Structure 1
């Protein structure tokens, strides 16, 4: 289990090098999205996760979930707030307002839900900050890991 979205960039290398099963955070999230009947999601995450194919490509190709990301300015804002504030434990209302605006833009583009695709984003964004459901990848991943551990121990 990799307890971070961005580091799933190397998940395929890890699974190729070991026989230990890997609970992929995008798979766990995609399963919840599909259970909710959602077809198009907005993705908030680090620039690496929003811009590279290891995450959104997996959702689109393996689960037929359309993934929308913010425009270049929005991606920079989301990324910078993660690394310059949230990773340092800094929570600012101004940043929450910026995230709300970016979420609203994604919803206006047709996002039916938003993936909080970075473990730190939930420090800032809560359900009341969006008009659509939020998928907290940290919580989903942890829940699925606990279920898997309980099944394997029985």
Structure 2
């Protein structure tokens, strides 16, 4: 039997739905019953991870326990920045499929596939960038990030996306920010925020693009099917 996946979501809701769609697409099936059983807590009431550091942890911990009690056997968080609270989530006693680690390994694989590329750009919040820098350091990758004023522009765009503004202007702005990373020497670009893939994909860049949400979906499928 495959393991039941519990998803801590709602940060924001559209990004969680994007993850669930990618999870379904990544699951090998020949019939409806082959899909994973997935329990999802879409909780947009989680305090903002970007300015309420101490407040979000207990809420995420409670969500993890609730998913465990509902029958989840493996957990995933559909938000990069929320991985700052990974230890609180793991305190539920369930294993966590780590999004940052998964994306880091995907970046390493892309690095190897592209002749040893050493510089990987990341589009993410300040909190997520700190997590990526740490993970990349362990993997021997240099993280390329936006300048301070560009990061302010990214954060303003992020909140527009969370409010549902997924139109052409948002797409152009996100692509322009990604191109700035390439201009700074990034040989690969990681969507290090789950809102990024809502408005940008591989076709928008001349360098390899890693959708961390998609990488997490594939990894969750692997973990949940490993017991079969």
Q: If the TM-score is normalised by the length of the shorter chain, which range does it land in?
A: 0.7 to 0.9
Question: Which of 42, 47, 67 is residue 126 of structure 2 equivalent to?
Answer: 47
Question: Which of 97, 109, 112 is residue 187 of structure 2 equivalent to?
Answer: 112
Is contact 2:174-2:200 (8 Å) kept? yes
Is contact 2:132-2:143 (8 Å) kept? no
Q: Does 1:27 align with 2:101?
A: yes
Q: Distance in 2 between matches of 1:32 and 1:54?
A: 15
* Cα RMSD, aligned residues only: 1.6
**Which residue is 1:123 aligned to?**
198
Is contact 1:47-1:76 (8 Å) kept? no
Q: Distance in 2 between matches of 1:148 and 1:43?
A: 25
Deviations 1:20-67 (A, max 9, x none): 2211111111111222214211110123323xx22321222x211111
Residues 2-13 of structure 1 aligned to structure 2 (within 5 Å): 2-13=77-88
Greater CA drift, 26-35 or 91-100: 91-100
- TM-score norm. by structure 1 comes to 0.87
Offset at residue 113 of structure 1 (A): 0.8
Deviations 1:68-106 (A, max 9, x none): 1101111111111111x2112211322322222222221
- Higher Rg: 2
Question: Which of 134, 150, 166 is residue 57 of structure 1 equivalent to?
Answer: 134
Is contact 1:9-1:55 (8 Å) kept? no
Q: How many residues align?
A: 148
